[in-house]
Each structure stands twice: as C-alpha cells, then as structure tokens.
A and B are shown apart, each in its own frame.
Chain A
Amino acid sequence: MQKQELLDQITAFAKDKVLTKQEVLGAYESGVATTGDATKHSVSLSEIMYFIGGAIVFFGIAILIQQNWSVFNVFTKVLTTLGSGVAAYVVGLLFMRDERLVKVAQAFFFISALVMPLGLFVTLHQAGWETSSPGTNVVISLILTGMFFASYFLFRQNLFLLFTILFATWLFFAFTSYLLGPNPLFERWRFYCYRIVVTGISYICLGYYFQHSDKEEFTGFLYGLGIFGFLGAALALGGWSPRQYYFWELIFPGLVFGAMFLSIHFKSKSFLVFGSLYLMLYILKITSEYFKEGLGWPLSLVLAGFALIAVGYLAFYLNKKYIETPTVAS
C-alpha cells in the first residue's frame, strides 16, 4: 500500500467514524517504539529506587500503626493509614503536572496503592465491619479496582493498569468466596486451585494481548505469574495417592508440554522455565507415588534423575533454538 493510499484510507475511516485520532497516534507510536529506542521500557536504577522507597514507606506506616494500635484513637488510625494513602495519591497528581517529575509521581502512586488497602481495612474495622469476611474484602477490592481503573483511564499511567489487574484479581477471589460462603458444595482447597487455574489463564490471555500492543512491558510479568499459577494449581489438583484425581494427573504432562511449546510461539522464557520446572516436579511426584513400591526407591530415583536430565536438555535446546533472539518477552 502506498503512503497516499494509506492516508486516503485513514481519511475515509475517520469520515465513517470507525477510526479515532488516538488509535492512529497509538499505531504510529507503537511503530516508533519497535523500530526506534529499544531501551524505552527498561527500568532505570532511579525508578527501582523510587519503588523500593515507596515499599519502605508502606512498611513504615504499617509498623507505626501496629506498634501504636492501642495508643492511637480512631481518628489518628484512619488519618495515618487512609489519610496517608489519599495524600500520596494527591501528591502523585501534583507531580504529574510536571513532565520531569512523572517518575516521582509514579512512586507516590505506588505508595498510595500499597497504603490505600491498609487504610480501607483500618477504616472499616473502626466502623465495626469484620475485616476478614468476604463481604468486606469485596467492598475494599471493588473500591480499589474502580479507583485505579478510573485513574488509568484518566492519566494513562501503566502503574494504574498493573494495580487494576491486581485489585481485580483480589475482587475475583473475594467475590467467589462471598458467593460460596460456608457452603460445603465444593471442597475448599480444590476451589482455590480452580480459581488459580482460571486466574492463570486470564493472565496469559492478557499477557498475549499486551504483547501485541504498546504495553509490552506487562507481558513478562503476566506470562510468568499466569503460567506459574496455572501449572502449580493443575499439579495440586492431581492430589496424592490414594486420594489422587486421575484426570488432572493424566492431563498434566499435556499441559506442561503445551506450555513448553507455547514458549516458542510466545517467545516467552517464563513458559519454558516454569514448564520445565513443573515437569521435573511431576516426574518426582509420579515416581514417588507409583514406582517407589514396584521398582524400588533407588531404581526409581535413577530413572527420575535421567528424566530430569532429559527435561533440562529439552529446555536448553528449545531456548537456544527458538527463544534466544533479540526480541524476547521474558
């Protein structure tokens, strides 16, 4: 397609209102990002220090409130926690107005994201709510998800999107717990596992979406956490003899090999690393569960050892041949 044709096409789409200015600019910027500055998304030392500082501030507030719980009155408790969270958010907004201080603003938003849940817990506790109940957790996670999603929409800061995902995950767990209550319909630990499987799949889907957008920096984190949770929960669902679940034990090798081969398609080291580690764990689990008695423990260990060497070599081979290229999603 010629340049003029493309511009005509954009004009036609804009006239039909199927294309917005932001989408055109987004497409342009993502093109510039892939061909231009490759280190654009790398995290600098100063950014790391900002976030470590933010985390230390959070721990400081948490320890302050814990040590003085009996000394502080209700107002001071709420002011120290929720007040600090709101103040950090407002300071972040003020810093955002100066382009040179955007990174510092993010550090304050980070403090706000860590302190705000603590503040809401303390506030609701003082209001007489039972903080460990699923209902309270639904309310808190819903407030935080809504707030951070709205902030992302308004300010387009990736940090808000990251915390929207994390708070929405909390909301998902809290709401499903709230729905179930003390109902004994599902075995509790299996219910955890199924929810982690679903969260893992969701993270992988989101990671794939971000990989093909201008937010590629989320991909590694979402892929890593997603596949770690998904395979871990799938392995746990298999149970242990004599209370094992054959379906999950039989399907697990397929899931692991699927993850390892997806690592090639996604160019993701997380899939390969966690796939290999979980395959090793599975070999050890199956060996000790079924072959310890028949073959004997020493021979089983020898066979498991050889199998682990084979898995290690497979991971090395796949990484070398298909993944280790300049553009890796990690």
Chain B
Amino acid sequence: MKHQSRLCHSKSHFQKRAATLQYLLMKAVKNVPLIAGISIPLAMILFVAASIYLPGIFVQPKYGFLYLNGDTSQYSCQWRYEVEGQHLVPRANLPPLNQNYRQQYCSVTLWVYDVRNNTNRQVSLEEAQRFTLDNSPTSPDGFEITRGSGGGSFLFFFDVGSRDYNATYLRGHNVSRNIDLHKEGESSSYYNRFKFLGWIL
C-alpha cells in the first residue's frame, strides 16, 4: 500500500516535471525569432570586428618602402625621383619658366617606412640611392598601399562620418593595416604630399 502510494507520488512528480519541461521548451521555441532578431545584428558586429582584427594577427606585411614627402607635383618641382634598375635616380626637371619659384616651393624629404615597428625615418638622398627598390604597386608579399575610405555624413541608415581620406593602409590577403606615415603641411593635403617610390628589398 505504502509502495503503491510512493509509486503514485513519483508518477505525479514525473508528470509535473515533464509538463514543466514542455512549458519551458515551448517558451524557448516561442522566443527563437526574438533571439534571432537580436543576435543576427550582434553576430554581424562580431564578424566585422573579427574581419578587421583577426587576420592581422596571422598575416604580417614584411616589406617596408621608400617614399617622399613634399610637393609631388612635377610641374612645380625642380627635381623628380624615379626608380630605374632597382635604384633611386633623381632627375632634373629644369623648368622653362621661373626656376627660383620652383625651387622655393619644392621642399621634398625622403622617408623610409619600417613595417615591423610602424615608424618612419628620414634618409638622405645618398642613403636612399643605396636601397634596392621594387617600384611595382604590389609588394613581393602581396600588399599594396591604399588610402582610407570615406562615407557620407547622413544620419541613421547611411554611413556616418569616416571621412579620413588621409589615412593610409597596407592592404592584401584580406588584411588591411593602418600605417602612420610622416605628415607635414596642411592636413587637407597630406595624401597629395605623399609619393610612393618603391618597396625596399
């Protein structure tokens, strides 16, 4: 009798548990669209963050480069610089007009970007001429120099801000790494004052 009563009690307890479980399951299933609605945008945020930061841990650019900073427009420069036979060659671009004016507005400095330490070092023309250079746009390990993208400044659905056109990146192998180049002069003309000369081999 006692055994039967215990059996009955455990049966009702089991039924209660099963009903509770069924209720919780139904509640969870009911909430699946809500969970999906919230977690899908969150998953995209994680994906964007991972796409930006993760590949950079595994893939590192190896080659630094030589660049010049200054008035890169050859029409107002006395000198222009070219890479010939893997070495830097300064070429005289003697102006037919006012030579003094061109010299005055043509202050150019040569810089080496160190890719390992993300630093810049000014070099003399003699030192720069000693480097073995590759002037193709893509480095031997598959990276290229690109400028930062910009968006509009619309509210809400459109890209907000991000108008830093003077940001420079090393891009390749699904990695895009921000690099700090030497900047001088007005901020609006940073990018125009930069001229890539060649990857240092």
Residue ranges of A at the interface with B (Cβ–Cβ < 8 Å): 9, 12-13, 16, 18-19, 117, 130, 132-137, 169-170, 172-177, 179-186, 188, 191-192, 194-196, 198-199, 201-206, 208-209, 212
Contacts and interface: CB of A to CB of B under 8 A. Distances in A.
Nearest to B159: A177
Nearest to A15: B16
B36 to A, nearest CB: 4
A184 B169 contact: yes
Contact of A184 (B16, B49, B149, B163): B149
Contacts of B24: 18
A209 B37 contact: yes
B14 to A, nearest CB: 13
Contact of A170 (B33, B149, B156, B171): B156
B83 interface: no
B151 interface: yes
Contact of A199 (B34, B41, B169): B41
Interface string B27-60: 0001101101110110011001101100000000
Interface residues of B, number: 44
Given A170-B156, A201-B40, A134 B148 contact: no
A133 to B, nearest CB: 4
A132 B161 CA distance: 5
Contacts of A19: 23
Tell which of B31, B150, B156, B160 has the most Cβ of chain A within 10 Å.
Answer: B160
19 contacts: A18-B20, A132-B153, A132-B161, A137-B161, A169-B156, A173-B157, A179-B48, A183-B148, A184-B171, A184-B176, A185-B51, A185-B171, A185-B176, A186-B51, A188-B149, A188-B150, A198-B40, A208-B33, A209-B31
B178 interface: yes
B72 interface: no
B89 interface: no
Contact of B161 (A133, A188, A208): A133
A136 B155 CA distance: 11
B38 A177 contact: no
Contacts of B156: 169-170, 173
Given A176-B48, A188-B151, A205-B36, A183 B20 contact: no
B20 A16 contact: yes
Q: Which 9 A-B pairs have the closest CB atoms?
A: A182-B148, A205-B37, A132-B153, A133-B161, A206-B37, A209-B33, A185-B176, A182-B164, A209-B34
Contacts of A209: 30-31, 33-34, 37
Contacts of A181: 148, 162, 164, 167
Contacts of B36: 202, 205
A183 B178 CA distance: 8
B171 A180 contact: no
